[in-house]
Structure formats: structure tokens, C-alpha cells
Structure 1
Amino acid sequence: MEDNKEKETHRAVNPGDVISEEPETVEEKTQQLAVDSPDITGEQIQVPAFFGVKEPDGEEKALHHVRDAEEISDVIRQARVDEEGNRIW
């Protein structure tokens, strides 16, 4: 029996769906990928595990693509585009 045995998760879980229990910075979280593989056409698809958002008070936080999906949707609904096509949050 190994002493450094990793936590076992269900085999159907994508590695990017597992939320680390170790503290990480917002920047470290937003660099993680949930999916990094080719699709049926062979095009490489990358899906971030966390989405970085800035709160109205200026605080930055990372929202997990599964756990925080509803909050991510709320943030996207709040986005606006100006006359030049620039996104305003």
C-alpha cells in the first residue's frame, strides 16, 4: 500500500471538474483547463476550469465552470457592448 496515494475520484469525472482543496491564487485558477483535447474535426478545444471576474467592489475572484455555473451566467447577462464593440462589464 502506497503512503502517497492520490484521492480517488469517479472515473467519469473530467480532471478539470475536480476542485483542488489546496489554496490557489485567482491567477493560478484561471490558468487551469477543464478540457484540452481535439473535437471530432480535429480542432483543439480548450475550456477553462475557472473564469476570472471582478466584483463591483474591485475584488477579483475565480468562478468554477461547474460549481459556479449559475453565477457565471449572471455575470455574462450583465455584460454590455459599447458602440465600438468593446465589452463593458
Structure 2
Amino acid sequence: MNNSTENENKRVLNEGDRIKEENQTVEEKSKQIAVDTWDIVGHEVVPTYFIVENEDGSQKALHHIKDAEEISDTIRQARTDENGERKWW
């Protein structure tokens, strides 16, 4: 691990936020949990990585903190119709 990744990992709030080995497979990343807790509302589970499918069918893992902007962009893109018009449900 390089120094910048080590420094980033020292500043995490939850152990699950930590970016582990960069060379993990998408499947390995998909199993990591950032937060697993019970509260008054119920059981809350937040994955460390969100798995998204690219246009070519390949998958990639987006870290819920480091890649938050790309996750938001992906969600916005998913909510558009075939003409590129945003659809709100």
C-alpha cells in the first residue's frame, strides 16, 4: 500500500470505511460492510462498495466514500429515459 492510501485509511470513522487491498476482486469488495447496526428504525446495513454495471456489461466496485460523486452520477444516469430526460419516481 502506498503512503497516501495508508494516510487516508488512518482517518476513517468506521472500520468498514477502510479501503483494504487495492487488488481485491469486485466479488470480494461486494461482501464488505461499512456499517451494520440496529436502531429505532430497524436494521441498517451500508456496503463499503456499491457494485455498478458498465455499459459493456462489466462490473466495478465504487467505494461509498472515495467514489461518492461517481455513485451519485451513476444514480442520476440511471434515472433518465432513452432521450436523456430525467425521470423522478
Task: Establish whether TM, by shorter chain, passes 0.5.
Answer: yes
> Is the counterpart of residue 21 in structure 1 residue 21 in structure 2?
yes
Task: Indicate the structure (1 or 2) with the bigger Cα radius of gyration.
Answer: 1
Aligned to 2:3: none
In structure 1, runs of 5+ residues without a counterpart are: 1-6, 83-89
- Does 2:34 match 1:34? yes
| Identity among equivalent pairs (%) | 54
The yes-or-no answer on 1:60 pairing with 2:56 is no
Q: What is the alpha-carbon distance in structure 2 between the residues aligned to residue 76 and residue 45 of structure 1?
A: 20
Instruction: Give the equivalent residue in structure 1 for 2:10.
Output: 9
> Structure 2: how far apart are the matches of 1:78 and 1:42?
30
- CA distance in 2 between counterparts of 1:67 and 1:24 reads 16
Identify unmatched segments of 5+ residues in structure 2: 1-5, 82-89
TM-score (structure 1 length as normaliser): 0.70
The superposition leaves residues 24-65 of structure 1 with CA deviations (integer Å, 9 ceiling, x where unpaired) of 1101111111000112x1622100110001111222100000
Match for residue 87 of structure 1?
none
How many correspondences in the alignment? 74
Aligned alpha-carbon RMSD (Å): 2.5
**TM-score normalised according to structure 2 size:** 0.70
Q: Quick one: structure 1 residues 81 and 71, their matched pair in 2 at CA, closer, same or farther if it must change by over 3 Å?
A: closer
- The superposition leaves residues 4-33 of structure 1 with CA deviations (integer Å, 9 ceiling, x where unpaired) of xxx8835x6201111002521101111111
One-letter amino acid of the structure 2 residue matched with residue 23 of structure 1: N
